[in-house]
Structures are given as structure tokens and as C-alpha cells.
Amino acid sequence: MTTTSDRTAAQPTAAETPEAPETDRLTGPAFVRDAAAAPEALAAPAAPPRPRRVPVGRPDADGAPRVDVPALHHLLLGRWPQWRQAARDRAADPDFWKDESLSMAEHRERTLEQLRRLAQEGSHQVWLAFPERLGGGEAPGANLAGFEELTVADPSLQIKAGVQWGLFASAILHLGTPEQQDRWLPGAMDLSVPGAFAMTETGHGSDVAAIGTTATYDPQTQEFVIHTPFRAAWKDYLGNAAAHATAATVFAQLVTNGVNHGVHCFYVPVRDAGTMEFLPGVGGEDDGLKGGLRGVDNGRLHFTRVRVPRENLLARYGQVAEDGTYTSSIDSPGRRFFTMLGSLVQGRVSLDGAASVASKLGLAIAVRYGAERRQFTGASPVEEVVLLDYATHRRRLFPRIAETYAIHFAHDGLLDLFDEVFSGAGDTPENREDLETMAAALKATSTDFALTTLQECREACGGAGFLTENRITSLRHDMDVYATFEGDNTVLLQLVAKRLVGDYARQLGKQVRSGQGMARFVVDQAVDRVLHRTPLKRAAQVLGDVAGGAAEHLLDAATQRELLADRVATKVEEAALALRPAQKADPVTAQRLFDDNQVALVDAARSHAELVRWEAFTAALAKVEDPGTRTVLTWLRDVYALTVIERDLAWFLLHGRLSTQRGRAVAPALEALLARLRPHVLDLVDAWGYGPDHLRAKIASGAEKQRQDEARAYYARQRAEGAAPVSEKALRKQERAARR
Amino acid sequence: MTTTSDRTAAQPTAAETPEAPETDRLTGPAFVRDAAAAPEALAAPAAPPRPRRVPVGRPDADGAPRVDVPALHHLLLGRWPQWRQAARDRAADPDFWKDESLSMAEHRERTLEQLRRLAQEGSHQVWLAFPERLGGGEAPGANLAGFEELTVADPSLQIKAGVQWGLFASAILHLGTPEQQDRWLPGAMDLSVPGAFAMTETGHGSDVAAIGTTATYDPQTQEFVIHTPFRAAWKDYLGNAAAHATAATVFAQLVTNGVNHGVHCFYVPVRDAGTMEFLPGVGGEDDGLKGGLRGVDNGRLHFTRVRVPRENLLARYGQVAEDGTYTSSIDSPGRRFFTMLGSLVQGRVSLDGAASVASKLGLAIAVRYGAERRQFTGASPVEEVVLLDYATHRRRLFPRIAETYAIHFAHDGLLDLFDEVFSGAGDTPENREDLETMAAALKATSTDFALTTLQECREACGGAGFLTENRITSLRHDMDVYATFEGDNTVLLQLVAKRLVGDYARQLGKQVRSGQGMARFVVDQAVDRVLHRTPLKRAAQVLGDVAGGAAEHLLDAATQRELLADRVATKVEEAALALRPAQKADPVTAQRLFDDNQVALVDAARSHAELVRWEAFTAALAKVEDPGTRTVLTWLRDVYALTVIERDLAWFLLHGRLSTQRGRAVAPALEALLARLRPHVLDLVDAWGYGPDHLRAKIASGAEKQRQDEARAYYARQRAEGAAPVSEKALRKQERAARR
């Protein structure tokens, strides 16, 4: 976090403009970190070309700042630029593109074929996260950086790859012992065993602890009996299950010696690899057509007393001895469950990244089209106005560019934390807990954002946006399910809120233990919030507004941070205080209290995600060396802050955090910033680094400009030749004038 | 409009509960109107079964109100119940259902086949709007009431039927002379001539006045030469154009004797009906795959000096004599253009209805599923909670049920007005203008609403919502384009705002003419808004809140009306005052002023639509005889009002229309209402009248309840038999207890 006002720092001054020495950018923190992060065992793909040093990024002759696009592009490639770029190069290969003309069955086969190609490339693509002794790279962060870029080729490819390597193989990796890894990982890695990740059941989605499938140990035969006791316990929505899986990692209630030890994972062969027929006792169904991701063969599986050897329990966190005795290194069944599930957090992390990628693609297409498309005449009677020059169009798209940058920078932080935990460099319980909370908060909000953004982009392109050839609807269809898989977004936000409230309670506990006493604390808080803080703040604001202008204050980073951080703290505190009586209440009252505060809890979690993103964006500004780029990005960060504030403006007003006067300044300040950003938006979307082979949208190809130029040239020629018919309107005007 | 507080009226009292005489409901205003509206020439389909008189709708023994579902269903069938019901019956016929398994080409052929069947039924379905002398029914309102229900079968069917009868044939009907109708309508009506409506061009969507296609009169041959001068002037996104159209109504700039008289419509054969090859000079392209509506063959058309006889100008509003002299009954070219376009308003009217239908289908599916689906345990350790019992789930769905009712009632009013104008009963310029404004405001907001509602429904159903078998994603894909066709929603809202500001200016003009003077008026307004009204209101509110409770005031219909009406008035006034200088400014300044206020204008138009809906909902309450039903619907109307207020809460606070205290009461009041509505939501969605053959979603079929019951029975049996394994968690608890 930066605590100085980066706004001041971002103003390009004469002292800052001289060109920095050539080496500075190339040996800066980002590159140093890259080198440290690249595992030696890995032959990394060639590094992407170094950014051109072009004389941009500094003020124009007229003093306007410019974005240094290559340098910004490089910054955005992040900590593992070579892996991210390699995946983008892969995604630019037509063999990996989504083919919209295929039937569901054909699309599924094509995607499987693409997976085979990825598997052949092994550690250069999809084995990065696996143990070196098995040919992997043990580079979990680099793996995800590349993996999420597969979205650019075809989200079906990303998700089917995610099922195979991110879920099925990862379950073996994270829940299995080294011996089990040696036995089953090679087949999972090289795709000789396509696998399903059989966790979700028709009757239970996000509530995994309540699944119905049982795995009962039979000491007579030393086998587990996998059984589906009723229809709702069928495994459902499983990628690879409808057609391609020959094995599955099956989650089931482990029962031994009459005791249910909770959910554990088992390696279960499901189909004969030769005939592709289900093995005895296994059955299933095809989920059929879906709203998107038609290249993924989702399906259902059920088990009728299917026996697997005792050794097929993935035994890292829980073991069953020959006689049925259960042991675990984690004493608490609850903590054990969350540890097992937590090891699968990478799905959520990668969906946050995929959502960021999809938002960028949609916005890049809509902005390119909006920069060329003309509609209606404005000030000029003959020249039509480019869409981006309409205030409504800017309002639709630009705040979303800002939010996408915020999502991007926060995701970079999430990847860092993920890599720290899963590389073992910082695998502490605190880091794991932070990672889970952050992944839940970011995934839940960025996937929602991607959907509304793609929709806004599609509508901003009019009828052209609806054509599949322009890509946006296709992306949106595929991204739709991201809102509910790997954890339903609403459930995830409840999880985040629970953590925030828990942290608050712990902090409260400390205060109480330090002798201040509970009642005192609660009263203090209430008084602080309701009596002192609110009116005082408001009064101070009025004075400030008179002196310095409301808009200026809103553009101060310290003000933004205070507004956003205080909002989270207040929402969490209010919820925590409201929930306090639940601890001592009967279950019905407790449930009612929880229910009464559920909407507020989810809201608090969303605010938390926004704060995390604001902090990440602000921290990233400090990494930008070029002053022009930093100025424009600071405007963009301000747009993000004002967008977040405007979205929740009623809250700030109701809680006295913004005066009416300052509240009124939000919209005009935002619109002024959007107008100021207008000359830079193409640079800002270009810096994401997606070219024509990534965007693959006809309207983003320059065709619209060609059409518009042709039309304007036609009319200009007509006017020049005097060949244009007189308009009746003009004629009547002349007649009226003549009559006078 | 009702001006008394309907809230008071809605409280069931002892005096109101006795059963009304049997005849009352059946001879009430709705039925009287039905009879009057049904044209005698038409053999109407059998009237739908009369509502059962069941002893519901009055308070339970415990005093809780109940909804009289059959009576409400009948009310909701509206003014032409038999036509609406006939279309629903058609939509329940499997031959008309969307078949998700088809390829694009197959889907297109199936849809054409369905159109042929509709054509065979003639005046019982799709000919209702056409002249009686040609076999039609001259019942424009009844026609639309039925037409919009085709959405239930397959939106592709609705849109392809809309292209044929609502656009292509309607252009002939409304823009042609009686002779031209006699010549071309029969083929358009019976589908022997499938037609395209060639208005939109690649380069011009909503700005029809600027299209590039020309129709130049050649007096030598007495022909019009239809010509596409450049690529951007290709006709685009035209239904029927890619495959099936043999003719088109082509919009082009009419040029004769060197004068451009603006956009007119021409009847142009485009394909040989035998070979289906393009006629000489005509060319085109297939738009290919789209984000939805794959049963509609959208495509492009272009014309290279295609000659059509002089008589092919649809000549109702403009004629060209043999010598090329242009005449028109409408003097002003601008007004002529808007009159011609205005005659095609029915597209927008019907899309508003279709959006209402789609929202109902999505909500009915999600509510039925939410009423059966259980997830996570709450107060009970063994019983899981039904989704609808979660506050977050109620928040997601119930306000949308309320808004759908508001959309429904406003649409009924729109249909009335449409019928009044197009039946000739009230075809005045004022009514036409009102109709256009209302259609634009309602279509723009209801189609947006349908998209977000379907998305919310899909997510509320989790992974199951993503499966095509559960219908919601499929509906959403098809509805996507409704946001931009028949007028881009943003452009439509600008149109509405323009009208509102114009009305305001006229009213201002009157005041000025009455001697008050402009400056005085402006000052009065400003003083009223800024100084007197605001703080006084706020002070009064604080007093009121102390005395009577903030929530109670928010539930008062008069308060709601004042808040919503004043909001529109203020927004319009602010925009009008801000735009005033534009009249005397240079074009660049004027454009900048317009641009600066564009976002506010669109916002004012949205607020206007919400006020219209609130008024319609409130007026409808007066038609509800059953007190229980009226009580529940009044709660629902209040939910709508509070939802609208909450959405714009910052505005109410910033403008001093709500005190902080009252603003804080909005969310709790809303949530209390949602909880109160919980027992009634199934009734409220049932009253829409869509059965299993309309919903066609597996999760809305009762299958989920069956699965849940089976699972619960399994566990109950296990517990009863003592066969359930002890959970490790419980065991540890016991051990800990034993150690103490």
C-alpha cells in the first residue's frame, strides 16, 4: 500500500520528464521478480519482445499526457510474462479457436483434441503446477497465469483443461499421498486418463459438506463401497463425465466402523478405456446442451455399490487402516474438511483471471468499434459523430475499463498470494485463509462484472454486437456459468462476510481482554459512529468544500481510501453488532437474525472486494515509471473510485460520510474524468495486448472505419461535384426565406 | 388514476369480505370491454374457461390474506382474453416449441414451417390487424395481445412472424394506398410472398433518416432506380433476407427532379420465387449465427440500380406523378418522416409485451424451483432450508415479480392506447405522440429488465439454471437483441426525454404568455426547488417520522406518487433549464450542452417509465375486487415503489426529497414486505397462467421436490432405524462431554 498521495506524484513535472536511463525499466522490480520466480528446471519459452522505447508517455507539446503503450503492456503482463505470452500465442493459433459452426458433439471432440495437443506440450503449458519428478514445473502461479489466457482461444478449452488438470489431476496432487501421485498423476497429466471431478451433486451444489454419496469401508475385503443412496445424490454438471472420462475423483462421506468422518475424495475408474462403456455399478447421463461452454461434455454419474480398493482413498489428510481405523493429522473434522477443500482454491483464482480476460476482450472490441462507428450528426450538419464522443457511450464503457484495470491489478496480487502458498514459500494458515477469502471475494465480483460488461459491450455495438461473428455474445454465453460454478457467487460472498465479521469479533475480543470491557466497547463504537463521527465529518466537509471544492477532495487518494475503507469497516461492524445476540439465542432466533442480516453481509463483502481492488490499483500506480502513463492511470483509478462511490452513494449519504454538497459533485467529477480520458481509451485497451487474432471480431478489425470513410468520401465527392440532390428541407427553408 | 389512498381500501375489512354476487366479476368492466372490442366479423376462438369461484382471496382463519388465483389470472389476461389465451394454447402445442437440438439451417426451416401453419389459421391468429375486405380482423390490439404470446413457444417464431406480418405486411398496410394493399397484402398475409423489411443499414441503425440507399425517379421509364451507393448502405440484420424473402419493403431516400424528399418505402421483389435466386441487381449476404434467434434468417441486401415501376412507391404519405412531381398530404418533411415511421410503432409495443412474457417465464421457473430446492441447514440441524426462505433469494427475485406486474399493467395501458389509435377510435396527433413516447419508454426499459431478470433467474437456479433443458439461458439468448432492435434502447430513451423536455418547454411558454414572464418563472422554479420545497419537506418528514414512523409513510400511495412524480418533474426541469442556452448557441456549444446533459436526459426518461408503471399498477389495484388479492397486490405495488426509490435513493437524498431518517427506512421496509409476500409468491407467478407446457423447464416440473422428498425420507428412515452412522463431529462432542 502506498500512503502518500499518489495523485501529487502522478502530476508530470518538469523534474520528472527527462528520460530515465535505458536500463531502469528493464531491471526494475517486475523483471527481477520474474527471474527469481522462474524455476530453473523449466525451459521457459522465449521471453516476449522487450517493450519498444518510444518517445511517448510524456506530455505532448501541448502538455497533454500520453500513455506509453508498450511499457504499460509489459507491466500488465505481470510476474510471469513469458508464460502468459506463451498462452496468448497458443490462443492466437487458429487450431485452438472456438469454431462456432460445430454441433455440440463436434465441439466436444475438437476440444478434447485441443487438450491432447496441450498435453503433448507438457511442462510448457499445462504441467507447470505438477511435481518436477513427474515432469512438471512446480510453478503454480505461472501455471495459472497461462491457464487463464486459454479463455482467449475458447472458454470451453479453458474449462475442459481446468477440469482435467485443475480439478481432476489437482485433487490427486493435493489430496493424494506421494505414492498416489506417482500412481495416478502421469495418466491425468498426459490425458491418457481423462477424468471427472465428481464433487457436486444434483441436490447439493455449494454445500459440499452435505453431499449424499457414501464411501463405506468394508474391512472384510479392504474396499470402499461407493454408493449413491438417492437421485439427489447423483453427481452432476461434471465436465468430462458425459463422454470422455475414464476415471473420476469422487467426493463422498467416508464411513468406517459406523462413524461418518465427513467428505473425502476417492479415485474411482468409471469407464472402460477401450469400449468407453461404464464400468459395472457406474451409471450416468449427459447434461446435454447448456447456455454456453458447449465444448465441455458435462454430465451426471451415479454409483451402485461400486467397490474400490482401500488404497483409492486419497489419503493425504485422512487414512483408513486395514481394520477400518480412521486417522488424520487434522483433529477437527471441520478444519479437516476446509483444508481439503481449500487445497482446491486455484479454480476460483483462475476464474477471477478468466473473468478479467473476457472483460478485456469485450471492451477492446466495443471501444475499437465505438472509435470508428458514426451515428447521428452533432454540431456539424454533414459529419456524423463517433460513438465514443457521446457522453452516454463514455458512461457505458469507460468506467468498465477502469474497473477492469482494478480487477487486473487485484488479480495480480491474488496470483502472488496463490503462488506464495502453493509454491510452499509462504504456506501458513494465515496466508491460506487470506487466499481463500480473497479468491472468494474477487471471483464472486469479477465474474458478475464480466457478465454485465460483456452485455454492455454487446449493446454498445448495436445489432452488430448480436452477431456471432463479432464474438461478444459467444463470450458472454460461455462466461455465464462462471457466476455459479466453483462456488455460487452469493454463497462465496457470505463466506467472505463471515470471515470479515469473524476478524472483527476477534479484534473486539482483544479489546475486551485488554480490560476495556465489552459493554464499554460497544457503546464507544456506537457513539463514535452515530453521534460524533458522522456530523463532525459532515461539518468538516462543508468547510472543506467551501474552501477547496468538493470534486477536488473526491480526487484525493487519501479521501478515496478513507471513504472506501471506512465503508467496509462500518458495514462489517454493523453486521457484527446485529449478529451478536445470535451467539446466545435459540436456533430459530439465531437463524432469523442471520436471515435479517444476510443482504447486509453480502453487501459488506462486495464493498470489501472493491476496497481490495482500489488498494491494488493504487499500489500499481507506484510501479508506473512513465509520468504520462501514470497520470492517465491515476485518472483511471479515480474513475474507479468515483464509480464505486456513485454505485453506493446512498450509503455514503445515509451514513453521513459524504455531505449532500459533496455527493452532488460525484457525477460531474466522474463525467469530467471520462471526457478527459477520451483521447486515451484506445491506448488503454491496446495495452492489454490483444491483437486481431485474439479479438477475432469483424467490427474491431477496422472494417467499420473503412465503411465510414467510403460513405463520407461519397458524400464529399457529391458535394464537391454539386451532384448531390437538394434536400426538400433545405429547399423549403430557401423558399421561406425568399418569401420574406 | 386513483387519487384516494388505495392502501386503506386494500385492507380487508369485515364489510368487504362477504362474497360478491356471482355475476359481478363476470360482467365487470373488463368483460364488457372485451365484448365491445371483439369485431363482429370475427369468429373469435372459444373464450377461456371462466375463473373458478373458489373460497380463496379472503383472510384465512388466522386473518392472513390470500390471493384468488383464478380471478387474478383472468384480470391479467387483459382486454382480449380469448385472443391471448388462443395464442397461449398455440404456444403449448409441441409443434411450435423451440427445438434446441436443431442446427441453424434446420431451425430456420422449422420456423418457416410454423409460420405457414399460422398463415393457414388466418384471421384466428396472424391476420387480426389487416383489413376485413382482405380477410383480416381490423383488431390491432387483439392482434398484438396474441402475437406477443408467441414468445412462449419460441422467440424466433415471434420475431419471424413479426417480420412477416408486423413489419413487411404492416409497411404495405400503413404506408400503402388501398390499391397497393389489395395488390400486395394477400401474398404477404398468406405467406406466399415471404418478405423482408429493409430499413436498417450496416452504417445506420437507429438513425433511419440518414440511410444511404437511394430511389431516384426516372421519368423516361416511369421507374424508380433503387441503388446502394456504398458498403455502409447495405441493408443489414433483416429477418427473412438471408434465405426466405422473395420481396422486400425497402426504405430509401426518394430523389425526383433533383430533390431529395427524404426516406420513403418501396415494394421491391428480391428473389425469384421458383429458384430462390436473387433477381438481377439484387445481392446479399447471410448474417450467419447470432447470439440468439437462430430460427430467424437475418441477412443483408444490396441493390445495384434495380428498377421498379413508379407504382411501387408505397404512396400513402407521398406520391410521385408520371412527370416526377412530388406531392404529399404532409407538408413538413420532418413531420412526414415521423408520421411514416410512427405508423410502425407496433413493433415496439409488441416487444414490450414480449419482454413481459419472457420475464414471467423466467421468474415462474426460478420461483418454482426456489420453493422446492433446499440448501444448507438453518435453525434445524437436520432439515435444510428452502431457497425462498433465504433473505438474499427473496431480494433477488421478489422485487422482480413486483416490477413484472408493474410492466404488465403498463403494457395493458399501452395496448389500449395502441388499439385506440390504430383501430381509428382515437387516432389523434396527441394520441399518436403519446403512443410513440410511451412505447419508446416502456420498450426500452422492459427489454433491459427482461435481460437482467432472466440472468438473475438463471443464477438463482445455480448450475441447473445453465442447462438448456431448464430454458432460462435459451430465453435470454433470444431476448438479447430486443435491447437494440426496433430502436436502440439508449436512443429511444433520448427520444422520450426530448418529448418530456419539449412538453416542459411548452408549459413554460404558456406561463410566459400568461404574463408571468420568463425570468420570473425560472426564478420561481429554482427557488421552489432549492430553497423552500426541499428543506420544508425534509423538516415535515422529520416531524412525521417521529410521529408516525418512516416506513409507514413510504407505504402510503400518495407519498409514493409524490416522490415518483416529483422526481420526473425535477429531472426534466433541471435538464430543460440546463439545455435552454443551446437554443441561441452556436452548433458546437449546443452540441456540448446536449452532450453534458445526455446522461441526465436518459435518466429522466427511465424515471418517467417507472412513474408510468407505478400509476398503471395503482390504477389496476382498483379493478381487483377480491380483498385478499388486493391486499397482496398492494404489498406488491409497494415493493415496486420501494424498489424504484431504493434504486435512486441517492437522488432522493441529494435533492432533499427524503430525509436521512426516511432514507434509512427504505431497505428495512422493503425487506419486511418481501418476507410478508413469501407465502404468496407461488400464487403470484401462477396467476400469470403459464403451465408446464409453457414453462418447459425440468426444474419447474416438481422433479426437484420429488428428489428432495426422497432424500429427506432416506435420512428420516435411517434415523428411525438407528442405521445412520454417527458423525465424527457428534462423537467428539460426546467424548469431550464425557471427559468433563
Q: What phi and psi, each to the nearest 5 degrees, are found at residue A370? A: -65, -25
Tens-place pLDDT, residues B554-569: 999 999 999 999 999 9
Instruction: Choose from B369, B457, B459 for mutation: most chain A CBs within 10 A.
Output: B459
Q: CA B278: distance to chain centroid?
A: 36
pLDDT at residue B521 in the model: 47
pLDDT at residue B47 in the model: 52
Tens-place pLDDT, residues B424-435: 999 999 999 999
Nearest CA in chain A to B381: A587
Q: Residue A262: list chain B partners with CB under 8 A.
A: 727-729
Q: Residue B375: list chain A partners with CB under 8 A.
A: 204-207
**Of residues A54, A50, A100, A92, the one with CA closest to residue A75:** A50
Positive/negative CA dihedral, A207, A213, A219, A222: negative
- Shortest CA gap B63–chain A (Å): 23
**Of residues A732, A690, A622, the one with CA closest to residue A5:** A622
DSSP state of B700: G
d(CA A49, CA B147) in angstroms, rounded, equals 59
Closest Cβ opposite residue B664 in set A451, A465, A654:
A654
The number of residues making up chain A comes to 740
Nearest CA in chain A to B292: A466
Looking at the domain covering B104-342, what would its CATH class be? mainly beta
Positive/negative CA dihedral, B294, B296, B297, B300: negative
Closest Cβ opposite residue A287 in set B103, B392, B467:
B467
Tens-place pLDDT, residues B375-396: 887 767 778 889 999 999 999 9
* Integer Rg of chain A from CA: 29
**DSSP code string of B611-651:** HHHHHHHHHHHTT---HHHHHHHHHHHHHHHHHHHHHTHHH
d(CA A164, CA A239) in angstroms, rounded, equals 8
Task: Encode A510-566 in three state secondary structure.
Answer: HHHHHHHCHHHHHHHHHHHHHHHHHHHHHHHHHHHHHHHCHHHHHCCHHHHHHHHHH
Q: B42 pLDDT exceeds 50?
A: no
Nearest CA in chain A to B462: A484
Task: Burial-class residue B663 by CB neighbours within 10 Å (0-12, 13-18, 19+).
Answer: buried
d(CA B593, CA B424) in angstroms, rounded, equals 40
pLDDT at residue B20 in the model: 33
Q: Domain residue spans in chain A?
A: 104-342, 491-686
Determine whether the interchain pair A653/B656 forms a contact, defined as Cβ–Cβ distance below 8 Å.
no
Following CA atoms B277, B278, B280, B281 in sequence, which dihedral angle do they give, to the nearest 10 degrees?
Answer: -160
Question: Per CATH, which fold does B345-701 belong to?
Answer: Butyryl-CoA Dehydrogenase, subunit A; domain 3 (1.20.140)
Q: Residue A481: list chain B partners with CB under 8 A.
A: 463, 466
Q: Residue A375: list chain B partners with CB under 8 A.
A: 204-207
**DSSP code string of A192-240:** SS-EEEE--BTTBSS-GGG---EEEEETTTTEEEEE--SGGGSEEEETT
Determine whether the interchain pair A489/B732 forms a contact, defined as Cβ–Cβ distance below 8 Å.
no
Cβ pairs A/B, distance under 8 A: 293
C-alpha cell at B375: 440448501
Q: Quick count: other Cβ atoms within 10 Å of Cβ B705?
A: 16
Contact B615, B1 (CB under 8 A): yes
pLDDT at residue A147 in the model: 96
B522 versus A601: the higher-pLDDT residue is A601
Determine whether the interchain pair B488/A103 forms a contact, defined as Cβ–Cβ distance below 8 Å.
no
Instruction: Choose from A475, A654, A660 for mutation: most chain B CBs within 10 A.
Output: A654
- String of b and e for B447-459 (b: at least 16 CB within 10 Å)? bbbbbebbbbbbb
The architecture that CATH gives domain A491-686 is Up-down Bundle (1.20)
DSSP state of A38: S
Nearest CA in chain B to A233: B711
- String of b and e for A84-103 (b: at least 16 CB within 10 Å)? bbbbbebbbeeebbbeeeee
Determine whether the interchain pair B590/A379 forms a contact, defined as Cβ–Cβ distance below 8 Å.
yes
**Of residues B202, B246, B254, the one with CA closest to residue B226:** B254
Cα-based angle B556, B557, B559 (whole degrees, multiple of 5): 70
Q: Residue A591: list chain B partners with CB under 8 A.
A: 378-379
d(CA B321, CA B482) in angstroms, rounded, equals 39
Q: How confident is the model at residue B28 (pLDDT cuts 50, 70, 90)?
A: very low
Average pLDDT over every residue of B116-131: 88
- Shortest CA gap B189–chain A (Å): 27
pLDDT at residue A514 in the model: 73
Nearest CA in chain A to B658: A654
How much is the mean pLDDT over chain B? Answer: 88
Q: How confident is the model at residue B124 (pLDDT cuts 50, 70, 90)?
A: confident
d(CA A127, CA A142) in angstroms, rounded, equals 11
Instruction: Choose from A338, A595, A659 for mutation: most chain B CBs within 10 A.
Output: A595
Closest Cβ opposite residue A390 in set B203, B236, B595:
B595
What is this structure's pTM?
A: 0.90
**Same fold? B104-342, B345-701:** no
- Shortest CA gap B423–chain A (Å): 32
Nearest CA in chain B to A334: B729
What residue has cell string 500513455? A67
**DSSP code string of B472-499:** HHHHHHHHGGGGTTTS-HHHHHHHHHHH
Mean pLDDT check: name the lowest of A65-74, B345-354, B591-600, B620-629: B591-600
d(CA B296, CA B161) in angstroms, rounded, equals 10
Which spans in B178-274 are helix H?
178-189
Determine whether the interchain pair B262/A727 forms a contact, defined as Cβ–Cβ distance below 8 Å.
yes
- Strand, helix or coil for residue B652: helix
Q: Residue A669: list chain B partners with CB under 8 A.
A: none
* One-letter amino acid for residue A540 of the chain: A
Average pLDDT over every residue of B668-687: 96
Determine whether the interchain pair B231/A710 forms a contact, defined as Cβ–Cβ distance below 8 Å.
yes
Q: Residue B591: list chain A partners with CB under 8 A.
A: 378-379
**What are the residue ranges in chain A where pLDDT is below 70?**
1-62, 123, 379, 512, 515-548
Positive/negative CA dihedral, B149, B150, B155, B161: negative
Count Cα neighbours of A644 within 13 Å in the Cβ-side half-sphere: 31
d(CA A499, CA A501) in angstroms, rounded, equals 5
d(CA A606, CA A620) in angstroms, rounded, equals 21
pLDDT at residue A340 in the model: 94
Q: Quick count: other Cβ atoms within 10 Å of Cβ B32?
A: 10
Rounded to a whole number, what is the distance in angstroms from the first to the last CA of chain B? 72
Closest Cβ opposite residue A260 in set B395, B599, B726:
B726
- Shortest CA gap A728–chain B (Å): 5
ipTM for the complex shown: 0.90
Positive/negative CA dihedral, A115, A120, A124, A129: positive
* One-letter amino acid for residue A476 of the chain: R
pLDDT at residue B383 in the model: 81
Q: Residue A593: list chain B partners with CB under 8 A.
A: none
Q: What phi and psi, each to the nearest 5 degrees, are found at residue A195? A: -130, 155
Q: Residue B378: list chain A partners with CB under 8 A.
A: 587, 591, 594-595
**Of residues A204, A244, A87, the one with CA closest to residue A152:** A87
Determine whether the interchain pair B391/A660 forms a contact, defined as Cβ–Cβ distance below 8 Å.
no
pLDDT at residue B382 in the model: 72
Q: Residue B574: list chain A partners with CB under 8 A.
A: none
Average pLDDT over every residue of B714-729: 93
- Strand, helix or coil for residue B418: helix
- Strand, helix or coil for residue B256: strand
Of all residues in chain B, what percent carry a pLDDT higher than 70?
87
The CA–CA distances, whole Å, from B335 to A210, B212, B262, B321, B433 equal: 67, 20, 11, 21, 11
Provide the pairing of β-strand B319-320 with B326-327.
antiparallel
- Shortest CA gap B468–chain A (Å): 5
- Shortest CA gap A54–chain B (Å): 34
What is the H or E stretch that residue A252 is in? strand A247-256
Each as own residue / partner, the long-range contacts of residues A724-731 (CB below 8 Å, 24 or more positions apart, any chain) are: A725/B253, A725/B255, A725/B258, A725/B259, A725/B260, A726/B258, A726/B259, A726/B260, A727/B259, A727/B260, A727/B262, A727/B333, A728/B259, A728/B260, A728/B261, A728/B262, A728/B326, A728/B333, A729/B262, A729/B333, A729/B334, A731/B259
Determine whether the interchain pair B288/A483 forms a contact, defined as Cβ–Cβ distance below 8 Å.
no
- Shortest CA gap B500–chain A (Å): 18
Closest Cβ opposite residue A463 in set B200, B727, B729:
B200
